[in-house]
Amino acid sequence: MTTKDDILKRVRSALRRPSPASPAVQRRDRDTLPELGRVLAPVPPAELHGKFEAEFQKVSGKIHHADSPSGLDQILREILTPCASGPAVFSRNLILSQLNLPQRVEALGRSIIAWPQDGSVTAEEVERFRAGCFAAAVGVTGVEFALAESGSLVLSSHTEGSQLASLAPPIHIAVYRRSQVVETLEEVLAGIAEPGSATQGRSVVFITGSSRTADIEQITVLGVHGPTQVHAILVEDTCFLS
């Protein structure tokens, strides 16, 4: 007859856990553990942005380069023209207003919803913005970092106001500068945890390509619980000339 103790013994054995009667497992002090060292090969600085682009495209991301205001307008037109009707929602990231992105999108005939820029934001304004994110066809944000080793966009609630603009609409457009591309996750974590950093203690989202799942018969399906398309637009300094 199989007893409860027999079953627990088999479970512990399968999990490689000691039985209560066994001597306690000796754990090594963390300070004595060897350094793991670098896991991935280093990326030379000159190849950093190319690495980010390559990894971003591997996860179905779409890369765009803008080196002038007119070039930026053309990229926006190419992205927005085929997408469904509905407003474009903008986070509060300062780069969006510096580039006049809400006005540029509005000039293309699309209505806009923007995070309030002036003064403190009321609870009612936040709620209206949240509702607008779920009604929008396109969400436009900046980024905190562009992570080269995994092709990820890193956004913080401090900079964006609400990350829903990147999560709820079916299309997400992220704007970034060349100086925001970093090589490793360690650099990102150091940046957001730096004492006195505005992002410290804030919500941080890592976006690696479009939303996807393969839970159903192991068939990859995009856009189940987030954007079906993610666009990253590199804006050079010449784009800020108006």
| pLDDT (tens digit per residue) in 16-25 | 666 555 555 4
Q: In which band, very low, low, confident or very high, does the pLDDT at 220 lie, cut at 50, 70 and 90? A: low
Which CA distances in Å does 55 have to 39, 115, 221?
Answer: 16, 30, 20
Hey, where are the domains in the chain? 46-240
Which structure tokens are listed for 181? Answer: 């591309």
- Checking if the pLDDT of 108 tops 70, the result is yes
Residues 234, 179 contacting (CB under 8 angstroms)? no
Each residue's pLDDT tens digit, 128-156: 999 999 999 999 999 999 999 999 999 99
CA proximity to 80, closest of 60, 52, 101: 101
Rounded Cα–Cα distance for residues 82 and 64 (Å): 16
The pTM of this model reads: 0.80
Homologous superfamily (CATH) of 46-240 is NagB/RpiA/CoA transferase-like (3.40.50.10420)
**Amino acid occupying residue 170:** P
Which structure tokens are listed for 233? Answer: 């637009």
Q: In which band, very low, low, confident or very high, does the pLDDT at 34 lie, cut at 50, 70 and 90? A: low
Q: In which band, very low, low, confident or very high, does the pLDDT at 193 lie, cut at 50, 70 and 90? A: confident
Which residue has tokens 């070039």? Answer: 71
Determine the average pLDDT of the residues in 198-206.
75
